[in-house]
Amino acid sequence: MRIVQLANFYGPRSGGLRTALHHLGAGYVAAGHDVVLVVPGAARADEVLPSGVRRITLPAVKIPGTGGYRVVDPWRVKTLLERHRPDRLEVSDRLTLRGMGHWARERGIPGVVISHERLDRLLSFVMPPAPARHGADWANARMAASYDTVVCTTSFAREEFDRIGVRNVAQVPLGVDLRTFTPLNHDRELRSTLLQGKESLLVHCGRLSPEKHVERSVDTLASLHSSGVSARLVIAGDGPRRAALEKRAVGLPVTFLGFLKSRTEVASLLASADVSLAPGPHETFGLAALEALASGTPVVVSESSALKEIVRPACGAAVADHAPAFATAVSDLLGRSSREAARARAEEYPWEAAVDGMLAVLRVT
Residue 346 has pLDDT above 60, yes or no: yes
> What is the model's pLDDT at position 7?
93
The tens digit of pLDDT for each residue in 93-141 reads 888 888 899 999 999 999 999 999 999 998 998 899 999 999 999 999 9
Q: How many CA atoms lie within 13 A of 288 on its CB side?
A: 24
Q: Rounded to two decimals, what is the model's pTM? A: 0.94
Nearest to 231 by CA among 286, 298, 185, 276: 276
Report the percent of the chain where pLDDT is more than 90: 87
Residue 69: strand, helix, or coil: coil
Residues 22 and 114: their CA atoms lie apart, in Å, by 14
> What is the model's pLDDT at position 8?
87
For 273, left (φ over 0), alpha (ψ -120 to 50), or beta? beta
Query: In b/e form, how buried is each residue of 244-262, taking b as 16+ CB within 10 angstroms?
Result: ebeebbeebbbbbbebbee
Report the percent of the chain where pLDDT is more than 70: 98
> What is the model's pLDDT at position 224?
98
Residue 324: strand, helix, or coil: helix
> What is the model's pLDDT at position 358?
98
Lowest mean pLDDT among 44-48, 101-105, 168-172, 333-337: 333-337
> What is the model's pLDDT at position 69?
80
Q: How many CA atoms lie within 13 A of 225 on its CB side?
A: 17
> What is the model's pLDDT at position 66?
65
Residues 166 and 89: their CA atoms lie apart, in Å, by 20
Residue 364 has pLDDT above 80, yes or no: no
Query: In b/e form, how buried is each residue of 313-339, taking b as 16+ CB within 10 angstroms?
Result: eebbbbbeeebebbbbbbbbbbeebeb
The tens digit of pLDDT for each residue in 182-213 reads 999 999 999 999 999 999 999 999 999 999 99
* 330 within 8 A of 224, measured Cβ to Cβ: yes
Residue 16 CA to its chain's centroid (Å): 3
Residues 86 and 54: their CA atoms lie apart, in Å, by 13
> What is the model's pLDDT at position 365?
54
* 281 within 8 A of 321, measured Cβ to Cβ: yes
> What is the model's pLDDT at position 325?
98
* 194 within 8 A of 232, measured Cβ to Cβ: yes
| Structural domains of the chain, with CATH | 2-175+350-362 (3.40.50.2000), 183-346 (3.40.50.2000)
Centre a 10 Å sphere on the Cβ of residue 340 and count the other Cβ atoms it contains: 12
Residues 342 and 256: their CA atoms lie apart, in Å, by 25
> What is the model's pLDDT at position 11?
77
Q: Place 62 in a pLDDT band, splitting at 50, 70 and 90.
A: confident
Q: Place 338 in a pLDDT band, splitting at 50, 70 and 90.
A: confident
Handedness of CA 17, 21, 23, 24 (dihedral sign): positive
For 284, left (φ over 0), alpha (ψ -120 to 50), or beta? alpha
The tens digit of pLDDT for each residue in 258-292 reads 999 899 999 999 999 999 999 999 999 999 999 99
> What is the model's pLDDT at position 10?
86
Nearest to 221 by CA among 243, 202, 197, 248: 202
Q: Place 218 in a pLDDT band, splitting at 50, 70 and 90.
A: very high
Residue 35: strand, helix, or coil: strand
> What is the model's pLDDT at position 67?
66
For 168, which DSSP code?
Answer: -
Residues 28 and 31: their CA atoms lie apart, in Å, by 5
Residue 353 has pLDDT above 70, yes or no: yes
* 293 within 8 A of 275, measured Cβ to Cβ: no
Q: Place 55 in a pLDDT band, splitting at 50, 70 and 90.
A: very high
Residues 31 and 50: their CA atoms lie apart, in Å, by 15
Q: Which residues pair with 300 in a beta bridge?
A: 277, 317
Handedness of CA 129, 134, 137, 140 (dihedral sign): negative
Average pLDDT over residues 332-359: 94
- What is the rounded (10 degree) CA torsion for 230, 326, 334, 297? -110
* 88 within 8 A of 109, measured Cβ to Cβ: yes
Residue 171 has pLDDT above 90, yes or no: yes
